[in-house]
Amino acid sequence: MTVLLLDHVAIATPDLEAGSAPYVALGLNPEGPDEDVASQGVRVRAFQVGETLIELLMPTRDDSPIAAFLARKGPGLHHTAYRVADLNAEMARLRADGARFLNEEPTPGRAGSRVAFLHPKWGAGTLIELVEHPAGGHPAGGHG
Amino acid sequence: MTVLLLDHVAIATPDLEAGSAPYVALGLNPEGPDEDVASQGVRVRAFQVGETLIELLMPTRDDSPIAAFLARKGPGLHHTAYRVADLNAEMARLRADGARFLNEEPTPGRAGSRVAFLHPKWGAGTLIELVEHPAGGHPAGGHG
């Protein structure tokens, strides 16, 4: 079994405050300060719910993929991310199975993670990300 | 704290087999047989990942909300659902806070659950569902 957990559900928003309102109303609290992820051109606000994070993504530059998504579709659910123990091994396994990735090599994600996005066609219409956390950096563990 | 867990992430698909392919490739297995949820006009295939389910929703009639979603947006992420202990109490609490629901009263969901959908405007662009499971029917518990 290679897939461990649903790491996060990502939601595109033009405004972290407005986007946070429903999650705050549900009773969730932001997990630490907002974090800029330069590789994706986004600022991230994360809400922990059980072992998963709800991540709100706000674009920080015009050429961010999230800016393009918001222009095309408006605010809403953007992708799901699965936590794996060994990202390189999982990428190799899925490539051998015919999968295509949007980024050929892992790129930096939030909170020191390494991430890779699978092509939406592979995901049957949804964007799927794989996430490897640094040893000990399990967000539902020590940082919760 | 009223919100317990991310119960499921729902994905609209015109074809449960094609929609399943990425989740099977990731290493997940369907949780039990597909289930028809008459109140929503969908057939549901669920994949358990940790404490959360990935639910694929295929319309079973032309006036299903999922048929309308597919016609408008194509296959993709549809809603997130939060597990609550007492749905009526949570609906009353959120209504007192200004929330609007799509269904005034709880309706039947998958696996004997009772569910209610919040208005997408309340969710800042995403559709949010609340789920109450029957006592002992926690899907990440005895049925996993």
Would B137 be classed as within a structural domain? no
pLDDT tens readout for residues A80-121: 999 999 999 999 999 999 999 999 999 999 999 999 999 999
The answer to whether the CB atoms of A52 and B52 lie below 8 A apart is yes
Instruction: Show the tokens assigned to B61.
Output: 């009639």
Would A141 be classed as within a structural domain? no
CA A98 to chain centre: 23
Q: Which single residue is written with the structure tokens 């399990």?
A: A138
User: Mean pLDDT over residues A13-40, rounded?
Assistant: 94
**pLDDT band, very low/low/confident/very high, at A135 (cuts 50, 70, 90):** confident
Would A58 be classed as within a structural domain? yes
The pLDDT assigned to A144 comes to 31
Would A12 be classed as within a structural domain? yes
pLDDT tens readout for residues B45-90: 999 999 999 999 999 999 999 999 999 999 999 999 999 999 999 9
Q: Does A38 touch chain B (CB under 8 A)?
A: no
Q: What is the CATH number of the domain that holds B36?
A: 3.10.180.10
Chain A: give the shortest CA distance to residue B5, in Å: 5
Cα–Cα dist A78/A72, whole Å: 12
Which chain B residues are Cβ-neighbours of A50 within 8 angstroms? Answer: 4-6, 51-52
Q: Does A140 touch chain B (CB under 8 A)?
A: no
**pLDDT band, very low/low/confident/very high, at A56 (cuts 50, 70, 90):** very high
Scanning every residue of chain B, which has its alpha carbon at the shortest distance from the alpha carbon of A28?
B3
- The answer to whether residues A22 and B123 touch, using CB atoms and an 8 Å cutoff, is yes
Q: How many domains does chain A have?
A: 1
Would B89 be classed as within a structural domain? yes
ipTM: 0.91
Which chain A residues are Cβ-neighbours of B21 within 8 angstroms? Answer: 124
The answer to whether the CB atoms of B50 and A54 lie below 8 A apart is no
Scanning every residue of chain B, which has its alpha carbon at the shortest distance from the alpha carbon of A17?
B124
Handedness of CA B127, B130, B134, B136 (dihedral sign): positive
Q: Angle at CA B4, nearest 5°, toward B24 and B43?
A: 40
The pLDDT assigned to A136 comes to 58
Residues 84-113 of A with CB under 8 A from B: 94, 97, 99
Would A138 be classed as within a structural domain? no
Instruction: Show the tokens assigned to A29.
Output: 């609290």
Q: Which residues contact A118 (CB under 8 A, 6 or more apart)?
A: A94, A99, A100, A101, A102, A127, A128, A129, A130, B22
In three-state secondary structure terms, B24 is: helix
The pLDDT assigned to A101 comes to 97
In three-state secondary structure terms, A112 is: helix
CB nearest to B6's CB, from A25, A50, A75:
A50
What's the longest Cα–Cα distance across chain B?
A: 44
A142 pLDDT above the threshold of 50: no
Q: Does A52 touch chain B (CB under 8 A)?
A: yes
The pLDDT assigned to B2 comes to 56
- The answer to whether residues B31 and B74 touch, using CB atoms and an 8 Å cutoff, is no
**pLDDT band, very low/low/confident/very high, at A3 (cuts 50, 70, 90):** low
Cα–Cα dist A53/A51, whole Å: 7
Chosen from A2, A6, A7, A91 to mutate, greatest number of chain B CBs within 10 A: A6
Would A39 be classed as within a structural domain? yes
Would B141 be classed as within a structural domain? no
A26 pLDDT above the threshold of 60: yes
The answer to whether the CB atoms of B6 and A11 lie below 8 A apart is no
- Could you tell me which residues are beta bridge partners of residue A10? A55, A79
Q: Angle at CA A81, nearest 5°, toward B69 and B66?
A: 10
For chain A, the average pLDDT equals 91
Instruction: Show the tokens assigned to A122.
Output: 């592979």
- What b-and-e string marks burial along A8-17, b requiring 16 or more CB atoms within 10 Å of the CB? bbbbbbbeee
Cα–Cα dist A3/B54, whole Å: 13
Cα–Cα dist B66/B59, whole Å: 6
The pLDDT assigned to B42 comes to 96
A53: nearest Cα among A118, A19, A5, A14:
A5
**What domain range is A103 assigned to?**
3-132
Cα–Cα dist B125/B134, whole Å: 29
A28 pLDDT above the threshold of 80: yes
The pLDDT assigned to B94 comes to 97
Residue B41 φ then ψ, to 5°: 65, 40
Instruction: Show the tokens assigned to A13.
Output: 């928003």
